[in-house]
Structure 1
Amino acid sequence: MGRTTVSVIGLGEMGRALAGAMVTAGHPTTVWNRSAAKADELVALGAQRAATVEEAVLASPLTLVCLLDYAVSGAVLRPAEGSLHGRTLVNLTNGTPAQAREAEAWATGHGASYLDGGIMAVPSTVATSRASVLYSGPKRHFDAHEDTLKALGAAKYLGVDAGMAALYDLALLSAMNVMFDGFFHSLAMATSHSEGSAAGFTDLLVPWLTNMSQVMHAFAADVDSDAEPVLAQGLDVVLASVRNMAHASRDAGVRADYFEQSAATLERQLAEGLTRYTAPDAVRRLRTSD
């Protein structure tokens, strides 16, 4: 079976993992990086080293870009803009939805087909069952290269708006970030006691969070529905719990900023006459325009 020729621009840890996955999958792969030595291991595996970005783009109908940010990717690609016509550019650089849309406009303005992507993996899990990559942009471009892109991990198409992959990527990362912030806060509390240990506490925490994560689907259904929410708690009960978490944190010598802010918001909602805590209300209160 024929293999698509692929170019990879950017050979940081993630870029090297992407290029390695393409080489391993049998796709003829051309690579470029500002520091040329980062390509050495890939060249030893069979990749071709391009001397310039333009040479890399011209080498393949499909080019993957994975750089620090959109400012860097724009600066790197600009010298090769005359070579983009008729080729597909898949930008896997982390950035915002607005930046993705701007990149699409620039690329299509030079005759390229464009997809934006978000990598939901760390370098060591690329090309494994634990990796997925989100894509957005015209569906025909995704369909044309889906089989090739699957070499990186599960390929998930989100829609025609080029900004969707970046939006979901950052939304997923925000959930991870807040989760880890909560984890570190809980460790600070648990280890404030002379008999507390991070490892022992984590043995209790992981099963608890795993069980609680099962409720997310029900919360999501409530957010999507126009019907009365199925899951609800008394706002006064939630406020009492948040106040207790704030007090316990302070008593343990741990900052309670998050809980104090949350309590202030709940107190304001009670003063406004709200009596129940639901997922749709929680989402609405986070939107600055509401």
Structure 2
Amino acid sequence: MSEDLRDLVKYEARDGRAYITFCRDEKRNALTYEMFDRLMEHIERAERDDDVRVVIFRGEGRDFSTGHDLGQVGGAEYGFSKEPGARRPSQRIRLSFDKHHVEQFRQILYCTKPTLSLVQGYCVGAGLYIVEASDLAIAAEDAKIGHPEQKMGLAGASYMTSINILAMGPKKAREVLLLGETMNGIEAARIGLVNKAVPASELEAAGEDWAERIVRLPRDAIAIGKAATHLALDSLGMTSQFVHGYVMHALGTNIRYEPDENNFMKERRSKGVTGAAHSRENRYDGEAKEGK
């Protein structure tokens, strides 16, 4: 990867806050697996810094994050080879990779410091997983939030299914995941995916206001509060979602596509990432319009 990770995921600590910023605006802050590893390093850095009382996730430019970099998804991470006659990657390779990656979202959820996501523009796929794993989230009213990646073949097998159900209820969670539609920040606040929505011009100020309120709390009170939250989540069985999350993802990336079904990976080979994404959306949008 030619891009410098130090420039793609930046860290700044000041005034009791640790700012972790995604800086890949030309790719709408799509996150590579290397960027996720860098993100985890920054979270650990914030946890070690006693002066940090709150961790703030934000995106530089137009968007919070459009999720996983689709150029990486569904192949290289599992060791697929283009050599003639090469065998498919084993399930153990799939499970090992997915376990490592899904536990990164667990690390966000179980961060010892309070976490706050500030959401503008697109916040979809893995970008929304980060928001769902955060303690607090404020969205711009015109943000575009959802899980359209579920149309690629997962159809509701999200890493954060338990959080979705807890926040929205089982019916709404299934709707958001199964249909893969996006919503604005106002609707996301209404159904509990974020805490509140504000005009885009007020997003930074709203985040600073909440951060300042947290910073004024005693450090031990913050730590005890987070520990109590972790105990409560465990008592509700929330830890298990990170086991079923990686198992379901390993299965979901190994499904069989029938001739009349949309196969993103096949479309990507012939049309590229952008073309494949458009083909996917056109399929579902077209079918929805035909059904009206």
TM-score by length of structure 1 reads 0.29
Greater relative CO, 1 or 2 (CA 8 Å, sep 6+): 2
